[in-house]
Amino acid sequence: MNIIRPIALLSFALLLQACGNLRIKAYQTYQAPAEAQNLVVTGFYMAPPVLPEVPAVDAENFNKKVNALSDKLNAALEANSDAYAQTLATGLQMQLNINSLYGDKVSELPRYDRLKQKEELEGLVVNKKSAFPRVYFPAAGIQLFELEQGDLQGYLEESPRLRSAIRGATKGLNCEVVAFGYARLVLDKVTTYGEKANIRLLVDIYLYDDSGKLAGHAYGETEPITITGESFSDYKQVLDAYTQLQNEILTALTFVESEDVDEEEDA
């Protein structure tokens, strides 16, 4: 694994300082499998917006404005599920110096069609009666997991099938690492009468190795901004902040403290 030198440590510290109120956290820094050469981004999950619940009356008034834009918001979530996956593949290739595939390049692999036939898509439906009924997942991706009502995090934390699903995917896709992302808009801190609320984008990026073990997991969220919620542009500006956020998440994901710096501090 590469050792980051003092100048890289300084750059990382400056990056975190520049992030302001951005929250970036590496739950597990990337640990590459031995001789890893190929990585496949299997897709990007876009969950329904998390709407405010309290204060009840104020939240209800604000949520009416969100629901009125549900057609545009759902279309944006669906489109970004593919766009974010493509951006993630590009970012991982640059950050990890590993061949990263997504979309057309993955569909050309010999066992792609067999994996697509095994996809479980019903679990992406959260609530058919809701204005935001489902988790969106790109058609170009490969949905590997058996989710219940879109509960990706619950599956990753508890399912005994996770490791076998990952192992089958890496074997079928002829790669040593698979990666995917998970994002959701969160709205909270509603003001009186539901006039305004805060909004931010939360993103998790996961990497698994060919034994089915977690090889890296990092999280980030954009700085909260206050919106009226009446215009689609309120939400689009937050969704458009993904690329910058991803760059900072991937920096944290691959950050390793320099042994040289530790030795200098001890001296």
Q: What is the pLDDT of residues 192-221, one digit of tens each?
A: 999 999 999 999 999 999 999 999 999 999
Q: Give residue 27's Cα distance to chain centre.
A: 13
Tell me: pLDDT of 261 over 50: no
Q: pTM above the 0.85 mark?
A: yes
Q: Which residues contact 202 (CB under 8 A, 6 or more apart)?
A: 183, 184, 185, 186, 219, 220, 221
β-pair partners for 44? 181
31-40, 46-55, 108-117, range with greatest mean pLDDT: 46-55
Neighbour count for residue 242 (Cβ, 10 Å)? 22
Q: What is the pLDDT of residues 136-194, one digit of tens each?
A: 999 999 999 999 999 999 999 999 999 999 999 999 999 999 999 999 999 999 999 99
Percent of the chain with pLDDT over 70: 88
91 near 98, Cβ under 8 Å?
Answer: no
pLDDT over 90, % of the chain: 84
Q: What pairing do the DSSP bridges indicate for beta strands 38-46 and 99-101?
A: parallel
What is the torsional sign of CA 94, 99, 100, 101?
A: positive
Q: Which residue bears the tokens 């808009």?
A: 185
For the chain, the straight-line distance linking the first and the last C-alpha, in angstroms and rounded, comes to: 25
